[in-house]
Amino acid sequence: AAVHTFGHLSASIVLSRKRASEGLYPAIDPLQSNSKMAAPGVVGERHYGLAQEIRRTLAQYSDLKDIIAMLGLEQLSSEDRNVVARARRLERFLTQPFFTTEQFTGLRGKLVSLKDALDGCERILNDEFKDFPESALYMIGPISEAKKKKEKPTAEE
């Protein structure tokens, strides 16, 4: 019955216990979630193109996880290792500290504009942050905060 209902919805957001257990909040599974509104004519060409590239990168990483678990990251080709690094940075950048959870996490809530989110994702996809630790992209606002966090790690990490 649920599958039949999902076909009629214009959007579905799938929450992931695995992502929550990894501390990736909001714990939304970007590969299982979807929206009929995520079309170039609605969100714009840039947004649509970046969303597709992000999903493609995360899907490639998902496909590589079994190989990594069995053989280790070092057994991947350098191209696949780059995909993994890019995907993990995207996963961390797409986290966000919420105002409503501030009292539980101790992290000040952040509001990120769509433009800043798209700019950050694009820069990660272009490998501008390949020399940054993943932690510099975790629970930040705009991508500009990554440099500050890299230079001066805080107790929030």
Residue 111: CATH number of its domain: 1.10.1140.10
Q: Is residue 62 a contact partner of residue 69, using CB atoms and an 8 Å limit?
A: no
Range of the domain at 122: 41-151
Q: Is residue 90 a contact partner of residue 129, using CB atoms and an 8 Å limit?
A: no
Residue 124 or residue 148, greater confidence:
124
| pLDDT for position 106 | 85
| pLDDT for position 105 | 78
Report the share of the chain in percent with pLDDT over 90.
Answer: 79
Q: Is the dihedral of CA 148, 149, 155, 156 positive or negative?
A: positive
User: Where does 14-96 show beta strands of DSSP type E?
Assistant: 34-35
pTM for the predicted model, two decimal places: 0.88
* Residues 6+ positions from 32 with CB-CB distance below 8 Å: 14, 16
Q: Which range is least confidently modeled, 94-98, 126-130, 133-137?
A: 94-98
pLDDT band at 153 (very low <50, low <70, confident <90, very high): low
Q: Is residue 113 part of a domain?
A: yes
Nearest to residue 24, comparing CAs of 146, 149, 145, 137?
A: 137
Q: Is residue 33 part of a domain?
A: no
Tell me: the pLDDT tens digits for 59-113? 999 999 999 999 999 999 999 999 999 999 999 999 999 898 888 778 899 999 9
Q: Is residue 36 part of a domain?
A: no
pLDDT band at 157 (very low <50, low <70, confident <90, very high): very low
Give the chain's domain count: 1
